[in-house]
Amino acid sequence: METPLIDFEKPTRHLKKQVSFLVVDDEQRAREGLIRLLQRNWSDITEAEDGDQAIGLIQKRKFNLIILDLNMPGKTGDQVLAFIRDKKITTPVIVISGESSINKVTEALRLGAYDIFRKPYNFDELEHAIRNALDKSRIEDEKSQIQSRLKHSEQLHRYMVDNSPDLIYILDLAGKFTFVNDSVTKLLGYEKSDLMGKHYSEFLAEEDRLKAEYVFNERRRESRSNRNIELRLKCNPLDPVRPFEVTTCPIELNSMGIYSADSKDTKIVGTYQGTYGVARDISSRKEAEKLITYQAYHDLLTKLPNRAMLYDRLDLAIKQAERTGEVLIIMFLDLDRFKLINDSFGHVVGDQLLIEVAERLKAETRTGDTLARLGGDEFMLLLPQPTSREQAQRVALKLITSMQQPFFLKNKEVYVNVSVGISVFPDDSDDINTLVKNADMAMYEVKSSGKNGYIFYNDKLEHAAAEKISIESGLRNAIKNDELEMFYQPQIDLKTEQIVGVEALLRWNHPKLGLRSPNYFITHAEESRIIDQLSEWVLNRVAVDLFSDKTFQESPIKVSVNLSATDIRQKEFPENLVTYIEDLHIKPSRLEIEITENMFMSDIQACIYKLQVLSNKGISIAIDDFGTGFSSLNYLRELPVHTVKIDYSFVSEIEHSKKGAALVAAIVGMAQGLGINVIAEGVESSIQSEYLESLGCHIMQGFLFGRPVAVDDFLSAVTRQESSSSSLSTT
Ligand code: C2E
Ligand code: MG
Ligand code: MG
């Protein structure tokens, strides 16, 4: 399509231009006489002495008026007139001729002469005719300019209409299309002819027909007549160029009644002619809106509803339950040990697991239930009424059971369990936040009492939560109030019957409850980050208690100190520890740190590096509670481990089950194979110690050899041992 280039601002130029004349006459005197007369009013006058010269000049430039003689040698005036007519030149020609024959005159007029004067002529009359001719010519010029501008303007508007990204249409009184622009093909896949003469309703989605009726029949004018509504238009499913997946397309419609101006009715001003309108394709806006709403209410990983949607539904469900007096169940679900899986397999695998978990959980719910992901490994399930505690119990069991089959991640079997805390409306609270908090509290209770199960919220939980707070605040004061104590338990080498090591065990002398084991408070200390201060305190105390004692200092006995995962996770952990014990004058070779294997699960590479730093400095590393953790034996080859400590739970099984004994034998065998020291923990009977010795594990720790005791008692034993060994060596 050609681009219209119209300069609407341009003024009509010829009005300002000087008027130009061409005077054609073979008689020089007559020509000059006429020119002189013309020069009184006009200055741009060109002369030609015959027809040929005149034609040459007319071809070269445009004159406003030509005054032409008829009888001339060569080309005659008639021939010049014929030339002008044939070339469709619009310049008016006034003929001045000596001819008086009527035929000649008629011929000249027929050929298009504007007027004819017979020589001799009256110049005033001629001048009058000239002015008339010029006026007429100017009016003609203006008219043709207006026409050409109109033509261009129409082209421009047609261009704009056809190239509009919107669908532009006109409907007649009956609601039939009388005009549609080219966009119809692009937008709906129809040819224009498919729509022309058809009723608009044929192209509307069925559900939108009623809604459209009013707008398409819009009869009012001015601002009130504009109607914007959303409608869906059917697309042509057979469109060969652009096949649509959907068969309707939402459009925003703006329609306005058309009136004809010739109406005599003064009230309505014009008669209603039909409807003009513009339909805009808002598919992408609709898509974006849909996506935004979806994102606001869904968890993008699992596609489950998110917290916002859950709270929305919960709010509604509570209001309904309040009216009907029925029961509502909320379950808080948290995966057990998800963090370990995430840390050891990476976030991508962790995410995959969450997706699969969500699918399994979802499969156990019914339509109407809301299963939402709150974030991380936390999910929440809302069972709307009618329901009961028994029903909740059944659902919780189903959810827990659904996790029993392994998940396959990176071709490995992975097991995850879920802990479920349940709160009930209205028994536990009638407030959303409290209900959620109570379910959360119940879930934590499941976690602390062994995980993988469900518990209903009850008042005792509140008590446990309060206890947690009291332990944490008590611990914060424990150091300041001097309530911490260190106990020491010897590690004996049965070959020499000598104390070869000692484990430093922390105690809290609680002002009300008396001496408490770390089992009572370590987890709380870790959660509240008080552990950092505790670990420092322990190392400090060990330095003061043991290394300030000369006998101990000179003995070869190693001290084992328990560290928590939180300690090791600190970025500068190995460097800080090395500096700290240097300041305390503890020789690295006399120190062994005990860590549990679960600590390695979080970022094994960082662990290897950190432990290597310590090992290079001469500090020994022992794996505590070996065999109880959640990891493969593989890491033993990678980590700089010096000692494994067989857990009490295995040692205590030795005399009760063959399997237990075999397990202990396997651990000892494996450690020996890798050249790692083994210490048996919690040895309480001679049957156990004899069995362990028979396996080649001869370093033991347990009540059989000595309970954890206060420093003075321990140092007395060391003194006894060292003096007897020195007296032995001197004898
Ligand atoms: P653990 O490192 O495995 O320590 C051995 C635990 O077994 C100690 O409990 C000890 O008293 C107990 N035990 C020793 N021999 C026997 C026995 O023959 N029979 C029985 N039934 N138990 C025996 P304790 O002192 O209550 O410590 C519990 C846990 O607390 C420790 O387990 C250790 O993981 C942690 N812990 C102790 N002190 C500290 C510390 O200073 N810092 C950190 N982070 N954790 C500590
Ligand atoms: Mg230990
Ligand atoms: Mg242990």
SS3 356: helix
3-state SS of 616-673 is HCCCEEEEEEECCCCCCCHHHHHCCCCEEEECHHHHCCCCCCHHHHHHHHHHHHHHHH
Q: Reply yes or no on whether the pLDDT at 632 is more than 60.
A: no
Ligand 1: which atom is nearest the Cα of residue 564?
Answer: 44
Question: Ligand 3 centre from 666 Cα, in Å?
Answer: 18
CB 175 within 8 A of CB 212: no
d(CA 375, CA 22): 94
Tell me what pLDDT residue 9 has: 39
Q: Summarize pLDDT for 412-438 with one digit per residue, the tens.
A: 788 888 999 999 999 999 999 999 999
**Who has greater pLDDT, 637 or 260?**
637
Q: Is the pLDDT of residue 577 over 60?
A: yes
Q: Which residues, other chains included, contact 412 with Cβ-Cβ below 8 Å and sequence gap of 6+?
A: 345
User: Is 708 a pocket residue for ligand 1 (Cβ < 6 Å)?
Assistant: yes
pLDDT at 450 over 70: no
Q: What share of the chain is helix, strand, coil (3-state, %, to 5)?
A: 45, 25, 30
Q: List the structure tokens of 472.
A: 């944490």
Half-sphere exposure of 542 (CA within 13 A, CB side): 30
Q: What is the whole-number distance in angstroms between the Cα of residue 648 and the centre of ligand 1?
A: 10
DSSP assignment of 271-327 equals EEEEEEEEEEE-HHHHHHHHHHHHHHHB-TTT--B-HHHHHHHHHHHHHHHHHHT--
Give residue-wise pLDDT tens across range 377-388. Answer: 999 999 987 678
Ligand whose nearest atom lies closest to the CA of 647: 3
Q: 651 in ligand 1 pocket by Cβ < 6 Å?
A: no
Helices then strands (H, E): number in the chain? 27, 26
CA 292 to chain centre: 9
* Cα of 624 from ligand 2 centre, angstroms: 5
Contacts of 696 (CB under 8 A, 6+ apart): 668, 672
The atom number, within ligand 1, closest to the CA of 708 reads: 11
Tell me how far the alpha carbon of residue 150 lies from the centroid of ligand 1, in angstroms. 100
Instruction: Identify the H or E element spanning 253.
Output: strand 248-260
Dist. CA 595 → ligand 2 center (Å): 7
Q: Render pLDDT for 18-67 as a digit per residue (tens, 0 to 9).
A: 899 999 999 999 999 999 999 999 999 999 999 999 999 999 999 999 99
Asked whether the beta carbons of 291 and 277 are under 8 A apart, the reply is no
Distance 682 CA to ligand 3 centre (A): 8
Residue 709's contacts (CB-CB under 8 Å, 6 or more residues apart) are 487, 488, 489
Does ligand 1 lie within 6 Å of residue 703's CB atom?
A: yes
Report the separation in Å between the CA atom of 441 and the middle of ligand 3, taken as the mean of its atom positions: 29
List the strands of the sheet with 454-456, edge to edge. 370-375, 378-383, 328-336, 417-425, 454-456
- Domains, the chain: 13-149 (3.40.50.2300), 154-289 (3.30.450.20), 299-457 (3.30.70.270), 470-716 (3.20.20.450)
Residue 204 pLDDT exceeds 70: yes
What is the residue with the minimal CA distance to atom 12 of ligand 1?
Answer: 682
Alpha-carbon span 72 to 28, nearest angstrom: 12
Is the Cβ atom of 506 under 6 angstroms away from ligand 1?
yes
Q: In this predicted structure, what is the pLDDT of residue 5? A: 39
The single-letter code of the amino acid at 529 is R
Average pLDDT over residues 70-85: 93
Which stretch of DSSP H or E encloses residue 220? none
> What's the 3-state SS for 135-165?
HHHHHHHHHHHHHHHHHHHHHHHHHHHHCCC
The proportion of the chain whose per-residue pLDDT surpasses 70, expressed as a percent, equals 88
Give the residue among 445, 455, 452 at the shortest CA–CA distance from 423: 455
Q: Determine the distance from the C-alpha atom of residue 479 to the mean position of all C-alpha atoms in its chain, rounded to a whole number.
A: 47
Cis link prior to 120 (omega < 30° from 0)? yes
pLDDT at 202: 86
| Residue 268 φ/ψ, nearest 5 degrees | -80, -25
Distance 345 CA to ligand 3 centre (A): 27
In sequence order, the β-bridge partners of residue 515 are: 509
The CA angle 169-170-172, to the nearest 5 degrees, is 150
What value does the mean pLDDT of the chain take? 86
DSSP string, 477-518: HHTTTT-EEEEEEEEEETTTTEEEEEEEEEEEEETTTEEE-H
- For the entire predicted model, the pTM comes to 0.52
Closest residue CA from atom 24 of ligand 1: 517
Structure tokens at 550: 């000369």
Residue 389 clears pLDDT 50, i.e. is over it: yes
Tell me which of 427-436, 457-466, 597-606, 697-706 is least confident: 597-606
Ligand 1 site-directed mutation target among 492, 532, 562, 683, most atoms within 8 Å of CB: 562
Query: Does the C-beta of 702 come closer than 6 Å to ligand 1?
Result: yes
Closest atom of ligand 1 relative to the 506 alpha carbon: 38
Measured in Å, residue 505 CA sits from the centre of ligand 1 at 6
560, 565, 571, 577: CA torsion to nearest 10: -10
Q: Whose CA is nearest to atom 8 of ligand 1?
A: 505
Nearest-angstrom CA–CA distance, 520 and 507: 10
- Other Cβ atoms within 10 Å of 192 Cβ, number: 15
Ligand 1 contacts CB of residue 505 (under 6 A): yes
What value does the mean pLDDT take over residues 343-365?
92
User: Of all atoms in ligand 1, which is nearest to the CA of residue 684?
Assistant: 18
If you measure from the C-alpha of residue 593 to the centroid of ligand 2, how many angstroms do you get, rounded to a whole number?
A: 9
For the segment 93-133, what is each residue's pLDDT rounded down to a tens digit? 999 988 777 888 889 999 999 999 988 889 999 999 999 99
* 386 cis-preceded (ω within 30 degrees of 0): yes
Is ligand 1 within 6 A of the CB of residue 489? yes
Confirm or reject: Cβ of 517 under 6 Å from ligand 1: yes
| DSSP assignment letter at 199 | B
Ligand 1 nearest-atom number relative to CA 594: 2
- The answer on pLDDT for 17 being more than 60 is no
Token couple for 179: 């005009």
Query: Would you place residue 174 in the very low, low, confident or very high pLDDT band (cuts 50, 70, 90)?
Result: confident
Distance CA 514, CA 489 (A): 20
* pLDDT band with cut points at 50, 70 and 90 for residue 611: very high
Residue 522 pLDDT grade (very low, low, confident, very high; cuts 50, 70, 90) = very high
Q: Ligand 2 mean position to 538 CA, how many Å?
A: 13
Other beta carbons within 10 Å of 61: 9
Q: Residue 704's pLDDT is what? A: 97
Instruction: Find the mean pLDDT for residues 551-562.
Output: 96
Assess whether the C-beta atom of 648 lies below 6 angstroms from ligand 1.
Answer: yes
**What pLDDT score was predicted for residue 277?**
77
CA 420 to centroid of ligand 1, rounded, Å: 30
CB 69 within 8 A of CB 50: no
Name the CA dihedral angle for 611, 615, 619, 623, rounded to a multiple of 10 degrees.
Answer: 50
Report which protein residue has its CA nearest ligand 1's atom 42. 562
Token pair 């090791």 is at which residue?
568
Q: In this structure, which residue's CA is closest to atom 23 in ligand 1?
A: 682
Confidence band (pLDDT; 50, 70, 90) for 528?
confident
Cα–Cα distance for residue pair 611/617, rounded to 1 Å? 10
Mean pLDDT, to the nearest integer, of 515-529? 90
Joined tokens for residue 634: 């593989």
Ligand 1, residue 683: give the atom nearest the CA: 18
Residue of 475, 484, 505 to mutate, ligand 1, most atoms within 8 A of C-beta: 505
**Measured from the CA of 596, which atom of ligand 1 is nearest?**
34
Q: Is the pLDDT of residue 251 over 70?
A: no
By alpha-carbon position, which residue is closest to atom 10 of ligand 1? Answer: 708
Q: Say what the pLDDT of residue 238 is.
A: 60
Asked whether the predicted pLDDT for residue 707 surpasses 90, the reply is yes
Q: Which helix (H) or strand (E) holds 362?
A: helix 347-363
Ligand 1 contact via 421 beta carbon (within 6 Å): no
Asked whether residue 189 carries a pLDDT value surpassing 50, the answer given is yes
